[in-house]
Each structure stands twice: as structure tokens, then as C-alpha cells.
Amino acid sequence: MELRQYWQILTDHAAIVIGTFLVGIIAATASVFLIPQVATPYTATFSIAVEPRPEPRTGSYYTYDSYYAYVASEYFNDDLIKVLESDHFLQAVRSRLASFPGGPPTGTITGEKAHRIIEVTVTSATAEGARALAQAVVDEITAPDAKRKYFDAISAAQDPTVTVIDQPRIVSGPAGRNAILNIGARSLVGLILGAGLAFLLAYLDDTVQPGDVPRLVGLPVIGEIPGRGLPTPRKKK
């Protein structure tokens, strides 16, 4: 099939193509401006290292006390992540932000372990809220009373030291709503669907088209009598 035939199919079904395209534009515009869009939160992250304190040596011989302490610290990190993700810890963090403009920000705290390193991720509705929550988490977990409040409940024997490796920073924010891009992309889908529907109707049409005559009769077409502009024969009464 030549390009002219493709174009002829589209022009013959122009109403379907244009109609589907317009429906796509209307649906895209309604979905962008009339349907409430879900805003993605801001994300702040930082890293902390947990170093256990091995038991003191009682002799001059070599021991594996430090090795086993470091191995055990990975299990300690699992428990510490549970503490960081608990609602009790979140409320303690928010209490540090009582003077925050508009009140303590809401958000979530999650942790991911990489051996003795914990990557802490904080999310909130605003960049200021995410940054403030992340800094409050750092202050809470490194406070002098953190050992009594959190570490002793997990493992008092290890007496770990928490060090902030990477300070809190904003790593992502809302993707934003690009109305023009969304409408253009969704309208393009409507145009493609309209063209596809036009070709489907042409495929299902089993009537003989002018371009099918040479293939069907096996002879070249010398001339054509146009059907347009001819007078309509009158019916006999």
C-alpha cells in the first residue's frame, strides 16, 4: 500500500480522526484541571554510622571482641531502624519542633541498612518541613539522653556511638504538574487512536475501491469516469 493510499484512508475518515482527537483534548484538559492532582512529598535524607564499643580486654592476649561486636551491630541496626520508624520516635522528633512556624510538620521516617550504615529518609509536604524533621531526627538520635531512651532498650551491653556521616539534605521534591505537556501527550494518544480506528474501518470495508481494480481484473486501467459532478438521473414516474 502506497503512502497516497494511507493518506486517502485518513482523509476519507477525517471526521473520525478529528473527532477522536478533540475528545482526547477535552478529556486531557478535564483530567489536568478538574480532577484533583495528588502532590508528591519532599524527601530529605542523611546517613548515620553505628559503632559499638567492645568490652575492655582483661589480658594481653588477642581476642575477637571487636569482631563480634561489629557483627552484632548489624542486628542492632535492624532494631534501631524499627525505633526510627516507630510512631513514638516520630512524636519525640515532632516535639522538638514545637516552635516551627505553623506547628510541627507531619511526615514519615524510614531507614535502610547497609551493614553499619543507616540511610534515613524523611518525607514531608514542604521542603522546610522535610529538612526540619530530618535535622530533628539527627538531634534526637545523637542527644545525650538517646542512650537511655533508645539504645539501652535495644542492647545496653554494646553501648554504641552514633555518628552522622551525611548531613540532612533535600534529595527530591514534587514532580510538578506540567499542564501543557500532559494535555499534549494525552491529545497525541487520542490522535493515534483516531488514526488506528480509521485504518481498522478501512480494513473491514469489503467494497471494491478504485485502487483494487487492476489487482482484481489483472489489467491496467486506461481511464476512469469520475463519479463526481455528474447529473443525477431522474426517476421515471
Coil, strand or helix at 71: helix
Q: Per the structure block, which three cell numbers stand in for 183?
A: 494535555
Q: C-alpha angle with apex 229: 228 to 234, nearest 5 degrees?
A: 105
**Which CATH homologous superfamily contains domain 42-172?**
EIF_2_alpha (3.30.70.1130)
Q: Tell me, what's the pLDDT at 66? A: 60
Every domain of the chain and the residues it spans:
3-35+186-212, 42-172
- Whats the size of the chain, residue-wise? 237
Q: Which residues contact 71 (CB under 8 A, 6 or more apart)?
A: none
Q: Tell me, what's the pLDDT at 30? A: 80
Closest listed residue to residue 138, CA positions, set 7, 44, 236 = 44
A 10 A CB-CB count for 70 gives 15
Question: Rounded to two decimals, what is the model's pTM?
Answer: 0.56
Q: Tell me, what's the pLDDT at 24? A: 84
Q: What does the pLDDT average to over 83-92? A: 94
pLDDT band, very low/low/confident/very high, at 58 (cuts 50, 70, 90): low
One-letter identity of residue 196 = G
Higher pLDDT, 118 or 75: 118
Q: Is pLDDT above 70 for 225?
A: no
Per the DSSP assignment, residues forming a β-bridge with 113 are 118
Q: Per the structure block, which three cell numbers stand in for 178?
A: 506540567
93-134 confidence digits (pLDDT tens): 999 999 999 899 999 999 998 877 899 999 998 999 999 999
CA 69 to chain centre: 39
